[in-house]
Amino acid sequence: MNDPQTLLATASRFPETPGVYLMKDADGGLLYVGKAVNLRTRVRSYFISDHADRAQIPGMLRLLDRIDLIVTNTEAEALILEANLIRKHKPKYNIELRDDKHYPYLKVTVDEPFPRLLVVRRAERDGAKYYGPYTDVSTMRRMADFAKRIFLLRDCDKALPLKRAVRPCINYSMNRCSAPCAEKISVDGYRRNVGDLERFLKGKRKDLTEELEARMEAASSELRFEEAARLRDQIRLIGEASRPQRVDLTLTDANCDVFGIAGGDRDISMAVLHFRDGLLMAARNFLFKRDKWEFSSEGNDSIVTQFYTLEDMEIPEEIIVPDNAGFSQPVLQEWFDMRADDTDGVNDVNSDINNSNRQSNHQRNRRKYERAKIQVTVPQKGAKKLLAAMAEKNARAYLLQKAPPNASQDVEDLQKALSLPRPPLVIEAFDISNLGESFAVAGMVQFRGGLPNKSAYRRYKIKTVEGQNDFAMMMEAVSRRLRRLRDEGGAFPDLLLIDGGKGQLHAAMDALKDFENPPLIASLAKREEILFSPCLDEPLSLPETHPARRLVERIRDEVHRYAVTYHRNVRGKQFTRSALENLPGIGSVRARLLLERFGSIKRLTAADAGEIACVRGFSEEAAQRLKEALTATGENRGFNVDEGGGRKKNIKS
C-alpha cells in the first residue's frame, strides 16, 4: 500500500479535466473505476473527507497502491468509458447495476424492407445501423420522437410487407406515419425517408435541409401544397432538433492504437490508447528521459516498432501517430508491410527449440496482419485528429503525474548555466512600466526555491526620475529595495534578475555599488532571450527546452505582468480623478470620496442626486449641482474615462 499523503500529492498533480480514474492495489488489480468532471478535485476528495457516509471507501483506501487515469475530451466521453471499463473488468468496489445498464443507442433496422427506429441498450452485429451511445437519455428520446415525426416512420412491429393491405392506424391520421402497412407509400419512397433519417442522425443537417428546401419549392411550384407544408414542418423540426453529436466508433468497427507524446523539461511521456470495435478499452503510458529521446527530431520510429515486437501485442487495423514527434509515416508503413510479407519471422538462427517457438509466435502474429492490412496514419484534421489530441492529453497528464516540474532542480540548472558561486534560492526580478514620461512604475516579484512567493511582491512609483529614462528608473527601484532590506535588517536575495539587456543590467549594477555584499545579478533580453551576467564571459543563449531558460522566462513574464497591471491601475485612477476635478466644486478629496462610493464616472453619471447626497460632504444642493454638471458635461463633450486597463471609453449620460 502507498502512503496516503503520497497518493494525495500524486492526485494534486492530476489535470483539472474530465476523465476516468482507476484505483489499483499493489498487485495491479483493479479496485474501482470512477469518472469525474475534474479529475484533480474528485480524486483528492477521497483523501480529504472522512467518508462517514460510505463505509466501503476507507476499506478500499487501505488496499490502494496507485491511481491511473485516462483523460477524455468531455464528461460524456468519461461516462461512456467508465461504463465500458466497469463492464469489462467488474472492479470489486464498483456497484454493478442489476440490469447491466448500457447507455442507449438509436437503431435503424435497415435490414428490413420498411425499417424502424428503435431505442436499444446494445449495439450488435445484426445488419442494422446504430447511432450513439447517448448519455442524455431524455434528449435522445426527444430526438427519436422528432425523427419519427419528421420522416413518418412506422412505430409498429408488423412483418412488412403484408400479403394484403390493411386499414392504417391512427398514427397515419395524425400525420405521424406513412402507413406502409396500407400501401400508402412505396418501398422506394419509404427508403428515401430512411436515407434522410440516417443523414439526420449522422449530423449532416445542412445538406439534408438544403435538399428538403429544394423538394419543398418543387412541390409548391407543382401546387402540391400539403406535401410542401409537410416538408416545411420537417425543416423546422430539424432545425429545433439539430445539435452536435458524437457517433460512437462502434458504428465503424474502428480498431486502432493512437499514440500521443508530451514533452517536459527533462522527461517525455508517451500514451497509447487502444480502441477496439470503436470503444476505448485501455490506455498505456511510458516515461522516457529527454536525453534518451528527443521527440522533436527524426528517427524515433523504433519506439513504435519495439512496442509491438518486444511484447506480444495485438496489432489493430490502424496505427495513428502524432505529427512533429519524430515519427516517419512512410518508414513505419513500410515496416508493417514488410512484417506482413515476412514468412521467416525474426532473424534468429539459434536452436531448433527457439526456431520452433519463433515460428509459433510468427504464425500468431501473421494471423493478426492477415486479418486486415495495417494502415499507419498521421492525422491532420477530422475525427482522427481529435483522437490524437486525446492521446496527447493523456500523455501530458501522465507526465505531470509522474514527472512534475522540479523547481529546486531548475534552480540548480540556473546556477550551472550562469556559473554562479552559490545556488540562487531567492530570486527577485524587476521590471519598469510607463507611458512615455508619465505614470512610471516598477514591479518586483520574488521566487523562492524556484516558485513564486507572492507575499514578498513589491511595487514602486518612480519618484526621482524625470523624463523617460528606463536605466535611471531601474536604478531607483533596485536601490530602494536593497536600502529597505538593509535598514530593516533583512537578507538580500541570492540573485537579482533584470528584465532587459546590457543597459538595464549595468544600471542595476551601478545601484549595487552602494551596498556591501550585494546579491548576484543577471538580466534577460526580451527578444533574443539571451542571458547576461558578470559571472559569464559571454552572453548565454540557452535552448528553448532548457529548464534554466524556462525558469527565467517564467520569472520575467510574471514580473512583467505584475508591473503592467500596477501601471494600468495607477493610470486609470489618475485619468478618472482628473476628469472629476475639472467639474466645479470638486477637489481631490471629493473626487476620491465619489470614486470610493461609485467606482467610476459611468456609475456616478447614472446615479441620481439623492444617491450622490449620501456621500460624505455633499448636501442635497451640492449633489443637485453636481448632477446637473455631469449631465451638461456628458451632453456637450462626454468623459474620457479609463476603465482600468489603459483603454479610454467615451461615456455619455
Would you say residue 37 has pLDDT above 50?
A: yes
The confidence score (pLDDT) of residue 361 equals: 46
58 or 366, greater pLDDT: 58
Range of weakest confidence among 191-195, 230-234, 320-324: 230-234
Residue 445 pLDDT class (50, 70, 90 cuts) = very high
CB contact at 8 A, 77 and 18? yes
585 φψ region: left (φ > 0), alpha (ψ -120 to 50), beta (else):
left
Beta-carbon contacts of 147 under 8 Å, excluding residues fewer than 6 positions away, are 106, 117, 153, 197, 200, 201, 241
Tell me: cis bond preceding 423? Omega within 30 of 0 counts: no
CB contact at 8 A, 486 and 420? no
Question: What mean pLDDT, rounded, does the chain reach?
Answer: 79
- 488-516 confidence digits (pLDDT tens): 999 999 999 988 888 888 888 888 888 98
Could you tell me how many helices (H) and strands (E) the chain has, helices first? 21, 21
Residue 354 pLDDT class (50, 70, 90 cuts) = very low
> Quick one: which of 264, 251, 262 has its CA closest to 391?
262
CB contact at 8 A, 111 and 191? no
148-169 core/surface letters (b: 16 or more CB in 10 A; e: else): bbbbbbbeeeeebeeeeeeebb
> Quick one: which of 279, 281, 259 has its CA closest to 269?
259
- 198-207 confidence digits (pLDDT tens): 877 765 667 7
344 or 274, greater pLDDT: 274
Return the CATH architecture of domain 4-89: 3-Layer(aba) Sandwich (3.40)
- 237-272 confidence digits (pLDDT tens): 676 655 433 334 443 456 789 999 988 777 888 888
The confidence score (pLDDT) of residue 99 equals: 37
* Measured distance CA(327)–CA(305) in Å, rounded: 11
The confidence score (pLDDT) of residue 347 equals: 36
The confidence score (pLDDT) of residue 121 equals: 81
Would you say residue 458 has pLDDT above 90?
A: yes
Range of weakest confidence among 288-292, 366-370, 439-443: 366-370
In the chain, the percentage of residues whose pLDDT exceeds 90 is 19
Tell me: cis bond preceding 161? Omega within 30 of 0 counts: yes
Question: Rg for the chain (alpha carbons), in Å?
Answer: 35
CB contact at 8 A, 496 and 429? yes
CB contact at 8 A, 215 and 234? no
- Residue 442's identity, in one-letter code, is A
445 or 298, greater pLDDT: 445
Return the CATH architecture of domain 409-568: 2-Layer Sandwich (3.30)
For 253-402, which CATH class?
A: alpha beta
Would you say residue 11 has pLDDT above 70?
A: yes
State pTM to two decimals.
0.46
492 or 550, greater pLDDT: 492
- 393-437 confidence digits (pLDDT tens): 988 888 888 777 778 888 998 999 899 999 999 999 999 888 766
In this structure, the strands spanning 30-36 and 648-651 are: unpaired
> Quick one: which of 345, 337, 344, 346 has its CA closest to 369?
337
- 595-648 confidence digits (pLDDT tens): 788 877 778 888 888 888 888 888 888 888 888 888 876 654 444 444 433 334
- For the segment 317-326, the average pLDDT, to the nearest whole number, is 87
* Measured distance CA(207)–CA(353) in Å, rounded: 62
* Measured distance CA(621)–CA(618) in Å, rounded: 8
Q: Residue 357: in which H helix or E strand, if any? A: helix 352-371
Residue 196 pLDDT class (50, 70, 90 cuts) = confident
Domains 253-402 and 409-568 fall in the same CATH topology: yes
* Measured distance CA(16)–CA(41) in Å, rounded: 7
The confidence score (pLDDT) of residue 180 equals: 92
The confidence score (pLDDT) of residue 145 equals: 82
User: Residue ranges per domain, the chain?
Assistant: 4-89, 106-249, 253-402, 409-568, 582-651
Residue 101 pLDDT class (50, 70, 90 cuts) = very low
Would you say residue 90 has pLDDT above 60?
A: yes
Angle at 623 between CA 621 and CA 625, to 5 degrees: 70
Give the residue carrying C-alpha cell 473527507: 49
The confidence score (pLDDT) of residue 421 equals: 92
- For the segment 305-311, the average pLDDT, to the nearest whole number, is 67
With H, G, I as helix, E, B as strand and everything else as coil, classify residue 510: helix
C-alpha cell at 108: 435503424
Q: CATH homologous superfamily of domain 582-651?
A: 5' to 3' exonuclease, C-terminal subdomain (1.10.150.20)
What is the number of other CB atoms lying within 10 angstroms of the CB of residue 340? 16
With H, G, I as helix, E, B as strand and everything else as coil, classify residue 514: coil
Beta-carbon contacts of 395 under 8 Å, excluding residues fewer than 6 positions away, are 260, 261, 262, 269, 270, 271, 285
Q: Treating both helix axes as pointing N-terminal to C-terminal, what angle do 205-221 and 225-241 enclose, rounded to 10 degrees?
A: 160
195 or 653, greater pLDDT: 195
Cα–Cα distances in angstroms (integers) from residue 60 to residues 30, 40, 65, 68, 565, in the given order: 11, 19, 10, 15, 48
CB contact at 8 A, 287 and 267? yes
Residue 438 pLDDT class (50, 70, 90 cuts) = low
The confidence score (pLDDT) of residue 342 equals: 52
CB contact at 8 A, 293 and 303? yes
Would you say residue 348 has pLDDT above 60?
A: no
In the chain, the percentage of residues whose pLDDT exceeds 70 is 78
Residue 314 pLDDT class (50, 70, 90 cuts) = low
- 102-116 confidence digits (pLDDT tens): 557 889 999 899 999
96 or 401, greater pLDDT: 401
> Quick one: which of 21, 54, 53 has its CA closest to 36?
21
The confidence score (pLDDT) of residue 506 equals: 87
Residue 132 pLDDT class (50, 70, 90 cuts) = low
